[in-house]
Structure 1
């Protein structure tokens, strides 16, 4: 199976490094320079003091023809419109595309794509891009995927073939998959970004934990969550499991990049508006993050 990976950030590099063992992989980069460096050096992955080198073909996104059997889009949500614009100019649309973005705001974009098999998913691995061709696998997890529209069979074949040390689980309901990750991201990412702390400190510091619960309660109220105690426990478990990690949003703030706050909190605030529910705490946190972006001139 030929697999194309759109986006050579931490997740794109991580996926390419693992699935290159069983698939013919091409990774598509935003710049020609990164493609050149990957072709020149391969993809280096650091994990538990062991370095793995993978020879992966790289091309700039402008060279994407959409001819692979399966395509994985790993760019951040605010980069999706540019990718979809490139898709519109392909000679033929790809047959199968898996979108791996945080949040749920991208679902509206996907609704406009017709006549192909669309899948969505969430990634629980911890990864850090160290340079154009090097990624550090900091935390093992799983990838959960589900059908958004079309035929499920190609996703099942793909998931079955991936290496056992990089599990991909096919779930029945895409909404639940994305919602579970959204809640975790909506609590952890913004708070760690504002406080400039690692994930674990949100539950280790009693005052931070009180704020975490207040944020969760507002999210639960807005989304009418079933079994809120289970969702809160999942947030706490993620904080503990990734205690030494810095959230992706915090890393974006520190690197003067745009964050995915619109895809995460923006989606929930949109739901609050639709359901005519107040969200004073989330609105304040959202404004803090947007203010940080503006202050640092965030770009991608």
Structure 2
């Protein structure tokens, strides 16, 4: 079985490093230069005090034809439109999308006659260079069928390495919603405050801001068991206390964030329901402003 991975950011490299232990794996990069570096050095995985290198074939994304049995799409949500156009003109039969947020679900509806699953990744990963990734937080990958059949997904989950499990969920919407709530509460606050995840519960003022933001999120999403969701957010902050959120890392690197897929989705929901979401909207504008500021400083 061949597995293709589109995207060689932190998650793309992490998936390639682990899945290549069980499958013939090919990774597709945004630039030819990165593909060349991976072909020269392999993918280096750092975890704790250990470091391993795996030979994985790499090609620029322009070479992807969808001939692999499974394709894992690991690009940011704002790159998906271009990828979906390639998917619709490809032979790719089975695709797993692992974007943050829920804004990409509408985009996936444009894909026809393919078996599609969506995933929610709980691992922590940090790309150190073009071919090196640090696995700084162990977790699982949740996956659920979005459209088509799911036999291929169950086969994939059964064959992945034991230390990189894929857990099949029944309902993709509920699965992604749980991750969205965590991302919407933690990511924008840590990005604006420039703090690690754990600081949100260790600092009593940050904690109050986190709890207040969650109240607005729960109102927009009309959550039933609010206390359980809030406790889960606190647990994630505690269990990933030393981690820097993906949104914070994106801002620090001068990259676009996935704020549209996360807070943008919530603002669309609020508008549909004619609800006010002042905190969510304020954070959305602040993150968009920071994106513009950080990117302009690079030029």
Tell me if structure 1 keeps the 8 A contact 2:88–2:112. Answer: no
1:211-290 correspondence to structure 2 within 5 Å: 211-290=209-288
3-state SS in 1 of match to 2:254 = coil
CA drift at 1:86? 2.3
**TM-score, with structure 1 as normaliser:** 0.98
> Cα distance, 1:238 vs. partner?
0.2
Q: Separation in 1 of the partners of 2:190 and 2:62?
A: 35
- Counterpart for residue 59 of structure 1: 59
* Rounded Cα–Cα distance in structure 2 between residues aligned with 1:163 and 1:31: 29
In the TM superposition, what whole-angstrom CA distance separates every residue of 1:254-288 from its partner, at most 9, and x where no partner exists?
11110000000000000000010000111101000
Instruction: State how far apart, in whole Å, the 2-side matches of 1:292 and 1:222 are.
Output: 25
Which residue number in structure 2 is paired with residue 8 of structure 1? 8
TM-superposed deviation, 1:158: 0.4
Query: Residues 84 and 108 of structure 2 are in contact (CA less than 8 Å); yes or no, is this contact kept in structure 1?
Result: no
Alignment partner, residue 175 of structure 2: 177
* CA distance in 2 between partners of 1:34 and 1:290 (Å): 28
Structure 1 position 88, deviation (Å): 3.6
Runs of 4+ more than 4 Å apart: none
1:1-300 equivalences in 2 (<5 Å): 1-90=1-90, 92=91, 94-297=92-295
In 2, Cα distance between equivalents of 1:52 and 1:177: 32
- Aligned-residue CA RMSD in angstroms? 1.0
Residue 85 of structure 1 and its aligned partner are, at CA, apart by: 2.3
| Deviation at residue 82 of structure 1 after TM alignment | 1.6
Unpaired runs of at least 5, structure 2? none
The two structures have a TM-score, normalised by structure 2, of 0.98
How many matched pairs? 297
Cα distance per residue 1:52-82 (max 9 Å; x no partner): 1100000000000100000000111111112
For residues 172 and 88 of structure 1, the distance between their equivalents in structure 2, rounded to whole angstroms, comes to 26
CA distance in 2, matches of 1:200, 1:61: 36
> Structure 2 CA distance, aligned partners of 1:226 and 1:57?
47
- How far the C-alpha of 1:226 sits from its partner, in A, is 1.8
